[in-house]
Amino acid sequence: MGLIILEISISINCLLATLFVLSVFTRKELLLFFLLNRKNIQGIKAVINEMERIAKANQKVTVIKRAIIAVCPVSGTALFFISQRQANINAITKSRRCIRNGIKKLIRLISPLIAAMFISGKIHSKKHKEKQNLLSALYINVVLTILYFLCIKRNKMILYDACPCCGQKNIVSVLSAEDYTVSHERFEIWECKDCTLRFTQKIPGINEIGSYYQSENYISHSDTSKGFINKLYHKVRSRTLIKKRDMIKKVTAKSEGSILDVGCGTGAFLNTMQRSSWEITGLEPDETARKKAKELYGLDFMPSEKLFSLPATSFDAITMWHVLEHVHELHRYIETLKNLLKPGGKLFIAVPNYTSYDAKVYKEFWAAYDVPRHLYHFSPASMRKLLSMHNMEVISIEPMWYDSFYVSMLGEKYKNDSSNILKALINGGVSNLKAFSDKEKCSSVIYVISPQRPPEGEQTNL
């Protein structure tokens, strides 16, 4: 009986080990794991082949998937391979949650069981092969346990118990959105009932979030032109770059000056400003994007952490084009940017606006939620509240008319798994019509911001 239990535990552990690393760890970690467990690869391959055979033979896979998930977390392990072959994103997401929950329970149950059986001597093996099996089972359990704790350590999540903008605890969950770009994990979005800021809950920490940007589909880092939507984005961008340049010249009343672009991506905007005789400084966290900027425009940018070491009162204009929603240290950034402005300098912050019509239409499929990369989801009221806490004010709001169409195209793709361009254009157009009389309802807006001197005796509220 003991040997039967042992063989069953070995089989489960081999399967779980494979699925665990496939669903959680990076390629380097995968390679290390398989090098350490090379003796088990043949058995694992046999299990995978059998799963694929069952999946191909069955015509009612969707029904079976649901049944497997309902039965128990252990059975859900098979779902990963079936779903991967069929590119069923929703099923993959469910299976990964199922796998992780099952692994947590099984590691706690199986590891102590086999260890106890080994220590108490209930399993006596005379044959060398059986001894090998026992040692393999124990070894895999040890590896699984180590990987489990490494995973917990690596995947640090930030859980807010108060609003990251105003600090109030009157926060509620409003919806759940999927990461359609990289991981296909789901993240909850909460809202503060005091300042109206929405924010992504249980976000990866500042040192862990980098992996959620690693995709050629993330256009601000890769500058990709693949696909109709990205090609359209590049055509529209050439027009918006000129409009941004002209707006900055008009607001600052300067034809030449010094400008800092935080989160400058591959450098298209700063290249435009440099060609207009502006002195440029660029900060970009992604090394690949910085290399691309050097390759495309010959521009050298600095890592984002250099922001806090720049000399005060250095810039006539500071821009953040769809960047503020990405930064973990929200208040520190705003205060630092204020101090970097020259007297009379202006701050330009562009962010999506969840109070727009297209956001209401697409709800959890609204592409501008872009979880977990977008940590915050601003309304005009929440932006004003944030800035007032740092003695700054919004002097004007400028609409970004093209964004409603781009976001709607992605929304159609996410919602219906197809690019219904006509419907997207209609929804984007309606959104702009509704925002025509009220710019604060536009899909994305540019806040033009000016610092104010705090009243005497009053300190900045950080």
pLDDT single digits (tens) 77-90: 443 333 333 333 33
Cβ atoms 394, 418 nearer than 8 A: no
Cα 381-387-389 angle, rounded to 5 deg: 105
- Which residues does 135 contact at the CB level (< 8 Å), separation at least 6? none
pLDDT of residue 84: 37
* Phi, psi of 213, deg, nearest 5: -105, -5
pLDDT of residue 104: 52
pLDDT of residue 86: 36
| pLDDT of 171 above 70 | yes
Q: Indicate the pLDDT class of residue 194, thresholds 50, 70 and 90.
A: very high
CA distance linking residue 40 with residue 342, whole number of Å:
64
CA distance linking residue 238 with residue 160, whole number of Å:
39
Residues 32-54 have pLDDT tens digits of 545 544 444 444 454 445 444 54
Residues 79-133 have pLDDT tens digits of 333 333 333 333 344 444 445 555 555 555 555 444 444 444 444 444 444 445 5
Q: Would you give the distance in Å from CA 127 to the centre of its chain? A: 52
List Cα–Cα distances, 31 to 85, 142, 311, in angstroms: 22, 18, 45
| pLDDT of 12 above 60 | no
Amino acid at 429: G
pLDDT of residue 39: 45
List Cα–Cα distances, 39 to 8, 26, 137, 315, 455, in angstroms: 17, 21, 12, 61, 71
Mean of all residue pLDDT scores within the chain: 76
pLDDT of residue 103: 55
Cβ atoms 221, 266 nearer than 8 A: yes
| pLDDT of 389 above 80 | yes
Residues 268-318 have pLDDT tens digits of 999 999 999 999 999 999 888 999 999 999 999 999 999 999 999 999 999
Residues 231-282 have pLDDT tens digits of 666 677 788 999 999 999 999 999 999 999 999 999 999 999 999 999 999 9
CA neighbor of 263 nearest in space, from 406, 375, 404: 375
31 vs 435 pLDDT, higher one? 435
Query: In percent, how much of the chain has pLDDT > 90?
Result: 53
Which residue, chain included where needed, has tokens 């535990």?
Answer: 9
Residues 348-384 have pLDDT tens digits of 999 999 999 999 999 999 999 999 999 999 999 999 9
